[in-house]
Structures are given as structure tokens and as C-alpha cells.
Amino acid sequence: MISRRTISRRTGTAIASATALALTLAACGGSGEGGDADGPMTWMTVIHTPTTPTPDGPIETALEEYTGTEFELQWVPAASTEEKLNAALSSGQLADLVTLGPVESTTVRSALASGMFWDVEDYLGEFPNLAKIDQGTLDSARIDGELYGVPYQKVKARYGVVVRQDWLDNLGLEVPHTIEELTKVAQAFTEDDPDGNGKDDTVGFYDREESFLVGFESLSGYFGAGSGFEVTTDGQVVPAFTTDAFKEAMEWYRGVYENGWVNQEFVTVQKTNQQDGIAQGKGGIVVTGLFEAKNYNALAKSADPETPMEWALINDLTYEDVPRRILSDTNGGMGGWLAIPKEYAPTEDELRKVLGFIDKLLDEEAYGLMTNGIEGEHYETDADGVVTVTDQTEWEQEVQPFSSSRPSEKVVTYESSDPYVNEANELMAENEANVITNPAQSLTSKTYDTRWSVIEQQVNDAYNQYITGAIEMADFEAKIESLRGQGLDQISEEFTAAYAEVNG
């Protein structure tokens, strides 16, 4: 039905000028369509796999049966989410339920705040699973205090440090738990030939291009820096990279770089290069998601089945007297919104129907269907409750596409046959208690929306230049000072005002 409508409109306006075309689209978007109570519920969601599962495939049918709701999926490929969403938003061609993300997208946020979608806050309490959504996740999902969709729940902090256990053993070292110990390990990994091949071909840390945004950011958290932004004692919202803790971490990391304990050309290393380098045993310390140890091992095994690679997973690093903390790498435990357009659900009853559907998806049975598939068809469970996928290809085709649409990633943690997976799951759950989130994430600043990417890139460059010794700390500070006049101060001010309004 929808496709026919799109085609006829397209041919109808093909000859018209673009302005007219856009006007028509915008105008049509405004007219009431959808919300027909009879047809199946439509859900526009994101797909991360190359192929979509067949409509009315086994999982979809099973889910329809379980939830008692007939629904139709409109898959949007992850690579083009933003363009597709832009087009859908501008033409009003949405669905009864819309998966919105990425979390930091200005377009998505302004669309959410535009009033097109229901504020769901008051209704969550009526549903058993939705009522249980973690307060921190809800806070992260708010936009200037309002909740315009049900948040996708994720583990709040998956990061930690993974260290080559076999190298530690070769050198007779203990697993490090402080930055000081970690530094010593990095030195030993670089200088003491941990793989015992007689060549000087290893380093400690193996970092990549996104150091400032990912690896180092997580390390700076141990020194006391915030996640993106932090609130000072007098209520000011300031960028984390302006704080003393962050600069202290930078000074330490520059020392590590100068000594050669981190790969010297990390600013050119892409994520896959990093994975390859680690699998090849070039470096022994990685600041990354704890679940990655399993992937590094798999990669190393595919090249050399006899690889001695073993990993120690560390989630409790601390620095001097700074209490244990970990920065959230998942936007405070949320991966987007399940938003309900008012146009498609004009009444509260229709809204409740959609919310009820989401609530059902959060039940263990539905979660199992979307994670593992159907028992006997896609997976098997042994006596210890270990889940094994029986037909990987079929699972990837029929089940995997649904896994990224699960409204929560932490309903059940299944036992895996891979010990690294179980250990990582445990340590990531432990992280929740010490997690630090970005206080500015749920706030809005006009200047941030227009200027942040340029400011962030300039600070990122200055960071890399400082670490590699191209500039000094004074130059880094001067760079930040110059950025203050280009919007950084204004962003701080706007966030501070928004923070005061929401919190007080």
C-alpha cells in the first residue's frame, strides 16, 4: 500500500521543479495517513546485517504469536539510517513504531523534540517490563527533561582493558590493577620480548586513530575525567577535555608514547588495522570493549590455530586515590528510541497498544526468540544451560537481523561455551555500579548542534599532536582558549542553563 502511494507520487511530480516536489512531499507528510486500526502494526527498524529476513519468516511469525500482535517490519539498513530517516521524517512516511537513532544525531533529536512523537513517560508505569527500565537509562534518553520514546536498553559500560595473559606469564608479571602497574606492564611488553621470539617487535598499548574519542577517553576516566562533559561543583557544564584530570591523563599517555610503549603511528591506524595488529601479536594491551578479547582470539586462531594467545580482562583499574569509575561507552546505557508518531497513534488507546507490544518484546520468551531463535531449529541448550547455535548461516539469515531491534540487550544473559564471553558479561555487569555518564547528553544546545563536530575535531587534532610530541601542553591549552571564542564557551553556557532548568 505504502509503496504504491510512493510510486504514484513520484511519477506525478517528476516533471515539476524540485521546489514544487519538496513542497508536495512536505504537504503530503502533513496530511493524516496511517493509524489505520485494521491493518498490521508497522515497525520501522534498523538492520545491521546485509540481507533482510523473509517477511513472515519463522521469527516474525513466532513473535506475532507470542505478542498477539500482527506486525510488519520496514527494515532500514544501518549504513543509510540517517538519510532514510531524513527522507521518512520529511515526507511523514513513518510507521506505527519507529526506531530512532543514532542517539547523538542532531536531526533525530530535533525531530523527537518537534512534538511529532508521544511523550511516553506517564505511560511506562502501566506495563510491567517498561516500568522496570533503569532510571539512569531513562535519564540518558530524555531530551531536555522529556521522554519522547522508549529507550533501547544497553549495558552501560562495556569498556575495560584487556592484557595478554600469556605474555604476563612469560615475563612473570601479575595482572595490573592500577595505572602505575599497567604502565610497568606496557614497558615490559615493549622492552622485554614478551613473545620470546628474540626480536624487538612488540609494544605495550596498541591504540588506533580514534584514541581521543574511544581508547584514551576511557583511560582518562580512570584519572577522573568525565564522559564528554561534566558538571562542576558550582553547576557549570564543562567539556571533559578542559579539566585537570584529563590533562593529567594526557601527560601520562604522552610519556607512554615517548618511551615507545604504544604503537608510534596510531593516528593512522583504523579499527580493522588495530584488530589485525593485535591478532598478529604486535601489541599486548588494548583499551576496548571487554567482549573484544573473544574476537581477537578468534582472529588470531584463524591465522594460526596454535596461537598461544590468552587474555586477562580487567575492569577495576584505578589511578592513585581516584575512586573506581568507568566511563559509559553506550550513551549511558541507551541505543536509541522506540518512538511512536502521534499521527499514527492518535489516541491514548492506540499508544497503549504499541507500548504493550514493546513490553511483550521485553519478556524472556520474546527476547530468546530475537537473540537465539527457535530451540531445535536455530540453537540447542545443553544440561548446563549453554546455548549453542546449530546452523550459523541460518541463524545469521533469520535471527540475527532481529537481535539489534531488541528493546533491551540485557533481559537474560545466556551462558556461552566461550569462557571469555561469560567473563566479559560478568565484568560488564559489574561496571554498572561505577559508571559515569555524560550529563549533557540529555540537554540541548543550539551552538552544540551547529558547531560541535568542528570543535571536537580540532581538539582531537591537538590531542594527537600533543601525544606524538608535535606540540606542547601550552599549545594544547592555547588551542582550547581559541576555541572558546568559536562556540565552546557558548556551548558550556547553553548546557549550564539547560542543566539548571531540568535539575532545578
Partner 1 sequence: MNAATTAAPGVPEASTRTERPQGRRRPQRPAFWRHRTLYLMAVPGIAYFLVFKYAPMGGLVIAFQDYMPFLGIGGSPWVGFDHFVRLFTEDTFLLLLRNTLTISFMLLVFAFPVPIILALLLNELRGKYFKRGVQSVIYLPHFLSWVIVASIFYVLLSTDGGSINNLIVDAGGDPVPFLTDPDWLRPLYIGQEIWKGAGWGTIVYLAAMTAVDTQLYEAAELDGAGRLRQSWHITLPAIRPTIIVMFILAIGDFLELGFEHMFLVMNSLNREVGEIFDTYVYTAGIQNGQLSYAAAVGLFKGLVGLLLVIMANRLAKRFGEEGVY
Least distance (Å) between residue 474 CB and partner 1: 18
Residue type for position 104: E
Which of 34, 57, 77, 107 forms a contact with partner 1 (CB under 8 A)? 107
90 binds partner 1 (CB under 8 A): yes
18 binds partner 1 (CB under 8 A): yes
267 binds partner 1 (CB under 8 A): yes
CA gap 90, 137 in Å, rounded: 29
Please identify, using beta-carbon distances, which residue of 395 and 452 lies nearer to partner 1: 452
CA gap 248, 438 in Å, rounded: 20
CA gap 14, 329 in Å, rounded: 45
Least distance (Å) between residue 339 CB and partner 1: 12
Please identify, using beta-carbon distances, which residue of 15 and 383 lies nearer to partner 1: 15
49 binds partner 1 (CB under 8 A): no
CA gap 360, 102 in Å, rounded: 24
Segment 192-221, which members bind partner 1 (CB under 8 A)? 209
118 binds partner 1 (CB under 8 A): no
Least distance (Å) between residue 110 CB and partner 1: 6
Q: Where are the beta strands (DSSP E) in 132-213?
A: 150-153, 159-164, 203-205
Neighbours of 469 (CB within 10 A): 10
What would the grid cell of residue 163 be? 592484557
Please identify, using beta-carbon distances, which residue of 266 and 379 lies nearer to partner 1: 266
116 binds partner 1 (CB under 8 A): yes
Segment 415-454, which members bind partner 1 (CB under 8 A)? 449-454
Half-sphere exposure of 339 (CA within 13 A, CB side): 32
119 binds partner 1 (CB under 8 A): no
89 binds partner 1 (CB under 8 A): yes
Specify the DSSP class assigned to residue 77.
Answer: E
Which of 151, 204, 224, 277 forms a contact with partner 1 (CB under 8 A)? 277
Q: Map residue 163 onto helix, strand or coil.
A: strand
Residues 422 and 373: beta-carbon distance below 8 Å: no
CA 323 to chain CA centroid, nearest Å: 25
Please identify, using beta-carbon distances, which residue of 45 and 202 lies nearer to partner 1: 202
Please identify, using beta-carbon distances, which residue of 191 and 363 lies nearer to partner 1: 191
410 phi and psi angles, rounded to 5 deg: -130, 35
Please identify, using beta-carbon distances, which residue of 11 and 393 lies nearer to partner 1: 11
CA gap 50, 39 in Å, rounded: 28
The residue behind cell 521522554 is: 147
Task: Name the site residues for partner 1 (rule: CB under 8 A).
Answer: 14-23, 25-27, 29, 82, 85-87, 89-90, 105-107, 110-111, 114, 116, 209, 263-265, 267-269, 273, 277, 282, 449-454, 457, 460-461, 463-465, 468, 470, 482, 486
